[in-house]
């Protein structure tokens, strides 16, 4: 079963520092290049902006893919649960006298285990849905910004050519 802790820790401790360090390195390189070429501040800002936008786009593209797979996985687990063999391994520990372990009727513990598995799948489904919604929203918003940037740069190049 997919653990949500891995997703959150993965996002916060691996992807985020990596993204920040890449952004800082690119910003420093761009700043040095801009100083050498005596580029305008506008160009520097737009290159940092486009880098930021594409970084987020790639992160949340993978987020969307991962959450879709996670959603399907938890949905399938909920619809088609795995059947376990309930033969001889259920003992009643409710009487605290552990010396006399009596074989119990599997009703109480088995039902609670089944319920727990079902609830776990429901929790996974909700989490996957939240992850998918958030990542898709952020992806769409930033893809619009990227498109605007692209169009703006195209216009600028055209006006430069005309001039």
Partner 1 sequence: MSKKIRVIYLYLVCLISLFLIVGAIISSVNYFAQYFFPTNSYSYSSFGDRKIELENDKIENLRNGISSLALLAVSTPLFIYHWKKVETERKEMEV
Question: Whole-number minimum distance, CB 162 to partner 1, in Å?
Answer: 19
Question: Whole-number minimum distance, CB 120 to partner 1, in Å?
Answer: 4
Choose between 76 and 114: whose C-beta lies nearer to partner 1: 114
Which residues of the shown chain bind partner 1 in the complex (CB under 8 A)?
4, 7-8, 11-12, 15-16, 19-20, 23-24, 27, 31, 34-35, 41-42, 44-45, 48-49, 52, 55-56, 63, 93-96, 108-109, 112-113, 115-117, 119-120, 122-123, 126-127, 129-131, 134-135, 138
Q: Which two tokens stand for residue 15?
A: 């992807």
- How far, in Å, are 90, 91, 106, 112, 115 from residue 86 at the CA level? 8, 11, 8, 14, 15
Choose between 21 and 72: whose C-beta lies nearer to partner 1: 21
Choose between 72 and 133: whose C-beta lies nearer to partner 1: 133
Please count the residues of the chain. 163
Question: Whole-number minimum distance, CB 97 to partner 1, in Å?
Answer: 11
- Cβ count within 10 A of residue 132: 19
DSSP 81-103: PPPPP-SS--B---SS-TTS--B
Question: Whole-number minimum distance, CB 80 to partner 1, in Å?
Answer: 19
| Contacts for 38 with CB less than 8 Å, ≥ 6 apart | none
């Amino acid at each position: 079963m997919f653990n949500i802790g891995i997703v959150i820790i993965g996002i916060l401790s691996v992807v985020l520092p990596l993204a920040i360090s890449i952004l800082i390195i690119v910003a420093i390189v761009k700043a040095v290049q801009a100083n050498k070429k005596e580029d305008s501040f506008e160009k520097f800002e737009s290159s940092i902006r486009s880098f930021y936008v594409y970084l987020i786009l790639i992160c949340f593209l993978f987020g969307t893919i991962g959450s879709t797979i996670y959603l399907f996985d938890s949905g399938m687990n909920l619809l088609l649960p795995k059947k376990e063999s309930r033969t001889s391994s259920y003992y009643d520990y409710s009487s605290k006298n552990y010396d006399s372990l009596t074989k119990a009727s599997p009703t109480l513990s088995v039902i609670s285990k089944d319920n727990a598995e079902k609830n776990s799948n429901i929790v996974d489904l909700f989490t996957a849905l939240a992850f998918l919604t958030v990542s898709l929203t952020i992806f769409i918003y930033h893809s619009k910004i990227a498109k605007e940037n692209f169009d703006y740069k195209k216009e600028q190049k055209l006006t430069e050519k005309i001039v």
